[in-house]
Structure formats: C-alpha cells, structure tokens
Structure 1
Amino acid sequence: MAKQRMLKFVGTAKETPEKRDAAVRSHDFDEIYREFADQKATEQASRCSQCGVPYCHSNCPLHNNIPDWLRLTAEGRLAEAYEVSQATNTFPEICGRICPQDRLCEGNCVIEQSGHGTVTIGAIEKYITDTAWDRGWVKPIKPAIDRTESVGIIGGGPGGLAAADVLRRAGVQVTVYDRNDRAGGLLTYGIPGFKLEKDVVMNRVKQLEDGGVEFVLSCNVGTDISFDAIRGKHDAVLIATGVYKTRALTDPGCDAKGIVRAIDYLTASNRKSFGDEVAEFEDGTLNAEGKRVLVIGGGDTAMDCVRTAIRQGATSVKCLYRRDRANMPGSQREVTNAEEEGAEFVWLSAPKGFSGNPVSSVTVQKMRLGAPDASGRQSPEPIEGGIYEEEADLVITALGFEPENLPEQWGTEELETTRWGTIKAGFGTHATSLPGVYAVGDIVRGASLVVWAIRDGREAGEQIIRFLDGAERVAAE
C-alpha cells in the first residue's frame, strides 16, 4: 500500500510553494514563500522514488532520513513524519527555510538526475514542522532525569542551541552565554525576515528556556565574565561563537562615511523588525531609504543586503561581484529572487577606490576570469583600461567573515588555533586543546552553513555527555 503512494514523479510534475508577487513582497519583510496545503504537500512527497541508495540523505550534513518522512507525509502520517524529521535535526523548520537545498539534498535527488525535477524536499520539511507547531506536536523538553553536571555554552547561534537541546534532553544543566540581547546569533540578527521570520527562531529559544536552559544575554566573554570563570563554573564548556570579524576593504577612500559592514547593516534592519530603537538606522547611517546602494560581494550575505535595501526603499540597488554568475558562492535561487525584486547584478566587477566623504561614487575595475586558483576556481584578473565610475550613496561590504582572536581576547593562549585563526577541534569529537572544552560551527570551520553548525552542535552535545559520563574524562584530565 505504501509503495503505491510513492514513485509518482513520472505522472506528477514538480511544484514549489507559490511565491508572493515581487511587486508586493519587495515592500515588506514577510517570508516570500507561501505554505503548501495538505493536499499539495502529500502530492509532492509522493513523487519520491524511495531510492535504495538515497543521495538526498547522504548529501545532507545532518543525514536526515528524508525518504522516510517523505513517505510518511505522502501517507498522511504527519505526526510520525515530524518525529522522524526531528530525530536527526534540531531545527527542521529553519533548515527547510534557509538551507541551500539546490546544492545539498535536492541537488542530489535521483529523479532530478533523470530529468523529472527534484522532489521539493525543503518546502515539505518546512511544512511538516510548521504543521507540528500549529497542532501542538512540538513538546517542551522534559528530561527523564535531571543531572547535577552543568555545561556552559559560549554563543547562542545554531551550533550552540543545537548542543543545548541535546544536552538538556539528557538532563544536563545548560547555561548559554551570548553577546547579544536575544539568542539565535545570525538566525536572529543576520538573516532577514523575508527568508526566516523571527518568531520561528524565538519559538525554539522559548522551547529551550521552558525546558530549563538558562540564557545569560548581553554578556561579552573576556569583558563581562572571564573564560576561566566560565570553565570554573561548569563541568564542560562549548565554544560556539561563530565568526563576526568582517574582511576589510583596503582600496583608497574605503574609510569614508557611507561605507558600512554587511553585519552592521543587517543587524540594524533586524532590530527594527523587533521594534527596537536603532539610532544608526534613524539617522540614515544604516538605512537605504532614498539612496543609490552598491553591495560588494557575491555570497548569501550580499544577497540579503541587496534584498533588504530594496525593501527599505533604495532608489537603486546594484551588486558588484568580481566573478561571473556561474562562479558566485551564493544561492542561485536568491539571485533570482533579488532580480525579480529589482536588483541589478554587475558581474566581473570589483571596487578599485571610493570618492567623496560621505561616499558619492565607486571606481570599478572590470574583470575577466583567468587561470584556476588553488581551489580550482578561475581567478579574476583586471582588464586593462576597464575602469569606470559607479555612483553610490551607500556602499555595503559583504566580503565574508574571519574569526576573532579568541585566545588573545580571553587570555587563554593555550587554546590552540589554526593558521587561519579558527579553533583547532577534533574531527567528530569537537574537543579542543583544553580538557573539557569543545568547539563547533564557524569558529572551527570558518564561515559556513547553518546546517553544518547544527550538525556540529548535535555531535558535540553527544561527545560532552560521554565526557560527563566518565568515558573520556579520565583521558582529558
């Protein structure tokens, strides 16, 4: 019976949730995709071919049991589908919204390779968990027993929260220290609401709070509390700070007013969405309204800035990227969304200098792709004479992030780092050079995907439980 409900990819075409009209959505920060209806989600889930070797599963960083919860959805067994989804993913409704499925699960779907169009895995994942919240299937965390051991987690982003969930379900006492006034990290302040509405994140934070996780917010480790004090207070510590240091421009005039960092710009916008008073938004420093905006970069952060500027009422929005569309690191889906909303992409272009203070124009160097670099990607190189001026009142730099020097900030030189400044942590164990101290997410990997941080956090939570159980404590001591 179950088999008859599946393998419908030949007769049933791929459909994605309806997108709100670009002319409407570009004026608000609501999510742009509508929900699947029950019937449509069931229909789309039934397209799964139930592969013997599911590449969607193996190419998901969390190794989600995707064919299983697709089958359960097709059979109308949504509560069970949620349980299977939740078993391997702490935040399936978040991954369903912001994961680059086109590069991960959906990009490796077998029926996509056969020309029938991938199963819309991300949209169904989002639908399952949104339904679970609506119908009360998402239960508070209630450990079978409460343990006396405690773990301090530095950083309340996806990696830290995923670890907190695993540890608290095992009865461990958990305290999360975060520099911001709300938990969630980039989920809260870095990703705009049109991709991830903030109540989705806050619901998970509240679930952790209701389950006994303590949050110490607006707390800067190294200033408000020392790293050694946190180590002394807890039986184990997890570092999940992420990477927030922005790669800086070095071109002439780059210190002019009107040239701002992407993280500052997005944080201000997200704070406004919470109803906060943001002085730099009100005075126009971090507000694109009525301005000619130029975003520099080609990753997902640049796409977030471009689309935010449009919603703030910029008179024009352009994105400069030094490679072409095929070689950009950001999601092609996000580029398409931005173009629909009115953004212009200027490919094979890089800044060479800035004029005016406040900035009034950018000197642009046209590029071409030359020989491959060490990663195999073609390196951009300047075209002789290919220089022109691009007018701009607000320049947003989205050139990527680097790790802060935590050993220096925290006075902990024995915490080993790599030559890139990331923390050295064991593969799979996430153990650092300090006994009982673990690290996960971007502070170990460098800037990466939310789903990888969730995987790291879940793995580290299990490893810390082993440590607390004594399996590894003797070796560490």
Structure 2
Amino acid sequence: MGKPTGFMEFKRQKTTEQKPLARIDHFGEYAERLTDEQLQTQGARCMDCGTPFCHMGIEIRGSAAGCPINNVIPEWNDLVYNGKWQEALDRLHLTNNFPEFTGRVCPAPCEGSCVLGINEPSVAIKSIERSIIDKGFEEGWVVPRIPRRRTGKTVAIIGSGPAGLAAADELNQQGHSVTVYERDDRAGGLLMYGIPNMKLEKEVIERRIRLLQQEGIDFIYNTEIGVDMTSDELRAQYDAVLIATGAQKQRALRIEGSEGKGVVLAMDYLTSVTKSYVQSNFEDGNALNVEGKNVIVIGGGDTGADCVATAIRQNCKSVVQFGKHPKLPNARTEETMWPKNPDTFTFDYAYEEVDAKLGRDPREYCIHTEKIVSDADGNIQALHTIYMEKILGEDGFHYFKELPGTEKAWPVDYIFVAIGFEGVEKALPEQFGVELINNRIAATIKNYATNVQGVFTAGDARRGQSLVVWAIKEGREAAAAMHAFLEQEAAVV
C-alpha cells in the first residue's frame, strides 16, 4: 500500500494551520488542507504491513486501538498515492457514513495503532481522510443516493447525533421510511453545539443533513419526545424506534461552594457560545461572555480544552485548566505500548493559543479542588486547591496523596466544569419503560434491542460517553439489527 519505500523516504507532514495569534481572532476552522501532491506523498508513507492494525477497531484496557468502524485505511491511502481520489472516496464511504466529521474531531486511534508509529511518526491518516471527503464534495462526487424501493416500514430515531444519523442513513438505504426527532433547532447533537466551530464548521454538518434529506430522511426539530410527544404516541406511529439521545447528563462539581454564581457546566458554556455564533454571529447577546474575566476550567480532557480555546477567543483575562492526573509522558510507556493508544503529551490547539497570547501552557496537573469562596452576593471569587502526588500502593493500585504546603487560592470569575457525563437523562427511557444499568440504556451489542419490543438504542445512550467514531459504529450496527427485526416482522405479516 502506498509506495513500497515511501515510509523510508518521506517524513510526516502536519496539516497546515493558521498561526495561533491569527486564529484566536475568529471562530472559523483553523486547519487547512495540504495540496493534493503533499497528500499523495503522505499516502505513500503507508507501509505494506502484513497485518494493518490501523483498522482493527478494538478496545485495550478501555482505550480504542485502531479504527472502531474498521476503515480500510491502507486501501484508500494507496488510492490517494496513485491519484485515484474518487475511488478512495468510494472505499472510505464503504465503512464511514460521515468521514467529514471523523476527519475533523476524531482523536485518530488509527494513528496510534499504525505499524509505522512503532518507531517513526505514524501515517497522517486523519488528514488524508478529511481531504478525501472534502475533495469529494468539492468535485461533486458526493451526490444523493435515492433508495430504489421502499419497504413500507417506518422508523423513528430520537436524537440526531452521529449514532442516530448513521442509523438513519443505513436504514433509509435499506428502503425504510425514517424520521429523525431532534429537540434542538438543528441536527447534529453535540457535533452541532457541543463542539466549537473552529474544530467543526457547522456548514459541514448541515451540508450532510441536506444530503440525507434529499435521500428521503425526514427531520423534525424543536420536538422533545416525552414532552411534546409521548412514547406511546411515537410507538403507535412507527414500526421501530431507536433511542440515540447520547449521554447528556453532565457530571456536576460537588465541593463546598459549588453552588456559587459563575460555576457553569462546560457543555452549557460551549453550547451558549456556539449557538449564538451560528444563529446570529453573536448579535443576539445570548453567548456567555468571559471577556476580561479570570477563568478556570476543571477537567483535563478535550471538552475542557474546547472551553480554554473559546475563552481565549473571547479575550479572557486569564485561563487555567485543572487536571487530576500527572502530565503525560513524551514517549510511550510500558502501560501504553503499541498498538494501544500512546497517550503521550501533546500541545493541542487550545494550549498553543493560550501560550501564544498569555505566555504559558494553561494546564495544571495533579491538582485537587477543595472549595469555592463567593462574595456576599453569591458571586464566586476564589477557588482553593492543593497539589497531589500519584503513588503506587502496596496492593498494586494507584492513589493520590495530597501534598501539605501546596495549598493555593486562585482568583476566579468563572469556573467551567468539564469532568464528563454521568449517563442518559432518565425521563425519556423511563417513559419508554426500557431498563437502565449504570445510567445507560441496557441493550446487548449483538442486537441493540432493549427490553421493550421494537425499541432499540445505540451510541452514548447505550455505551456511555465515548468517541464520535464509536457512535457511528453503533449506529450502523443498530441499523442492521433493526433491519433484521423489520424484515422478520414483515415476514410474519
């Protein structure tokens, strides 16, 4: 795959990006495509490895290894290298309904499992993937695929995130009539309002939605099932239902003073800013604005980084991000040996931007938040912390030990809580009568069926908070299970 000696001849080339101080002046995408010639060179680096681990798609100790949707990566790398872009697009669409999403926001576990990555920078898989689909749209190769027949069966999908959209796409192509219900005013789930525009332009999502509509899928917005329409009313209208609402119940901060004014859940902050930007270019005044404020983000993950990037674009006075874990190593350790995700230190987009503007990496490691202090009006003023040390106990487990003398009070106006999600919002599954286990809707990965006949679930609602690429995989597999169910129902009739 690729040029047989390409991995020895060519170096990995990073996607072109706007300079940090230039891109923080706007909310547009900052990553730009390499030229076709450069991408062909990157495709040439793909090795002719006997077992391409990049597309194995498994979990190792809870971390993705390889592509969960089993993209046949070496094949489209080879096609790009040979300039066969349209064939590369066809091969990419065989396994991935929405490569324009994954090519932008997926953390690329495929690259972590690349064989070349054992001792060299891995193949630039993600950049090539995004370029294939973007070129496909530009060249007019991505066109509506109208199903040749209709089965007469109807399906309702609750939630228009990547799991729901993938299932809708698959079921529609099988000839079933699909209606997607979304409680917000636009489709996409967290892709639309939960991920900042600079990482994923919303026109990219809406372009795909228009295509799905042209293919026959109906979208109904501003409709919350369980509120605007009961579960019984929905089930009476459709032959099968998929619950793909995600795991949207955010985990709250539970420390002394966390009820203070200025403590905001991360997704609420990101949603307010992105929605205001998309709907009115901020003219409606509905975005939470931290201009001139001291900001602290609690949570060391990607959502926290998105809060950092958003705050620096709003010209905050200061911003720091707290994480409870130590700083990641610069190279793989024994715990993250290939083909597992390397989990190494990176200087991602948000941190580059803060460093460029404020002169420091905003991240603080091994830090424990103790209490929040507010003024007489309830407005937060300070966050008290203490640093910790991660130690290995005699029982073989790791523990955190507080370090006396490292206490600190941080001045703060806003605290954004980005410590993950607890699971599904319970009102809807309880109305359907589906079983919940550990705040997730119970269903096997074999058929995605709940305990209620004709009701299925997929994505974060079933597996818990996870990656976009896992959601697409589950949506595709749930659609296959639902198709089998509908065909069985038709045979009985």
Give the TM-score of the pair, scaled to structure 2: 0.89
Runs of 4+ in 1 over 4 A off after TM superposition: 327-335, 408-411, 471-474
What is the aligned partner in structure 1 of residue 212 from structure 2? 208
> Conserved in 2, the CA contact under 8 Å of 1:262 and 1:396?
yes
Q: Secondary structure at the match of 1:237?
A: strand
Could you tell me how far apart the structure 2 residues matched to 1:428 and 1:61 are?
Answer: 16
With over 3 angstroms needed to count, the CA separation of the structure-2 counterparts of 1:199 and 1:266, relative to structure 1, is same
Q: Considering only aligned residues, what root-mean-square deviation do their CA atoms show, in Å?
A: 2.5
Within the candidate set 363, 366, 376, 1:345 is matched to: 363
What is the aligned partner in structure 2 of residue 381 from structure 1? 401
Q: Secondary structure at the match of 1:432?
A: coil
Corresponding position: 1:404 with 2:404: no
- AA matched with 1:344: P
What is the aligned partner in structure 2 of residue 288 from structure 1? 290
In the TM superposition, 1:136-175 aligns within 5 A as: 136-175=140-179
Q: Secondary structure at the match of 2:163?
A: helix
With over 3 angstroms needed to count, the CA separation of the structure-2 counterparts of 1:333 and 1:190, relative to structure 1, is farther
With over 3 angstroms needed to count, the CA separation of the structure-2 counterparts of 1:368 and 1:455, relative to structure 1, is same
> Comparing 462-471 with 49-58, which one deviates more in the overlay?
462-471
Q: Secondary structure at the match of 1:50?
A: coil
What is the aligned partner in structure 1 of residue 136 from structure 2? 132
With over 3 angstroms needed to count, the CA separation of the structure-2 counterparts of 1:471 and 1:57, relative to structure 1, is farther
Task: Report the Cα offset of residue 435 of structure 1.
Answer: 1.1
Within the candidate set 465, 471, 475, 1:447 is matched to: 465
Question: What's the % identity of the aligned pairs?
Answer: 37
Within the candidate set 477, 488, 491, 1:459 is matched to: 477
Number of equivalences:
465
Task: Report the Cα offset of residue 327 of structure 1.
Answer: 8.5
> Conserved in 2, the CA contact under 8 Å of 1:432 and 1:439?
yes
Could you tell me how far apart the structure 2 residues matched to 1:385 and 1:157 are?
Answer: 46
What is the aligned partner in structure 2 of residue 415 from structure 1? 434
Within the candidate set 203, 211, 221, 1:217 is matched to: 221
Within the candidate set 368, 381, 385, 2:389 is matched to: 368
Task: Report the Cα offset of residue 413 of structure 1.
Answer: 6.7
> Conserved in 2, the CA contact under 8 Å of 1:227 and 1:410?
no
Give the TM-score of the pair, scaled to structure 1: 0.92
> Comparing 320-329 with 225-234, which one deviates more in the overlay?
320-329
Provide, for residues 360-415 of structure 1, a one-character-per-residue CA deviation record: whole Å limited to 9, x for no partner: 110112111133799x8733332234321001111101111122353x44553741
What is the aligned partner in structure 2 of residue 108 from structure 1? 113
With over 3 angstroms needed to count, the CA separation of the structure-2 counterparts of 1:331 and 1:172, relative to structure 1, is farther
Could you tell me how far apart the structure 2 residues matched to 1:217 and 1:48 are?
Answer: 43
- AA matched with 1:412: Q
Could you tell me how far apart the structure 2 residues matched to 1:93 and 1:460 are?
Answer: 21
- AA matched with 1:20: Q
Q: Secondary structure at the match of 2:137?
A: helix
Task: Report the Cα offset of residue 80 of structure 1.
Answer: 0.3
What is the aligned partner in structure 2 of residue 317 from structure 1? 319
Task: Report the Cα offset of residue 330 of structure 1.
Answer: 12
> Conserved in 2, the CA contact under 8 Å of 1:45 and 1:124?
yes
Could you tell me how far apart the structure 2 residues matched to 1:69 and 1:220 are?
Answer: 40
Provide, for residues 48-104 of structure 1, a one-character-per-residue CA deviation record: whole Å limited to 9, x for no partner: 112221000112100000000000100100000000001100011211111111xx1
**For structure 2, which runs of at least 5 residues remain unmatched after alignment?**
57-65, 331-340, 355-360
What is the aligned partner in structure 1 of residue 51 from structure 2? 53
> Conserved in 1, the CA contact under 8 Å of 2:328 and 2:343?
no
Provide, for residues 166-186 of structure 1, a one-character-per-residue CA deviation record: whole Å limited to 9, x for no partner: 011111100111111101001
Provide, for residues 390-446 of structure 1, a one-character-per-residue CA deviation record: whole Å limited to 9, x for no partner: 01111101111122353x44553741111x110111113111111111100111111
With over 3 angstroms needed to count, the CA separation of the structure-2 counterparts of 1:334 and 1:149, relative to structure 1, is farther
> Comparing 318-327 with 183-192, which one deviates more in the overlay?
318-327
Provide, for residues 200-233 of structure 1, a one-character-per-residue CA deviation record: whole Å limited to 9, x for no partner: 1111111111111111111111111111211111
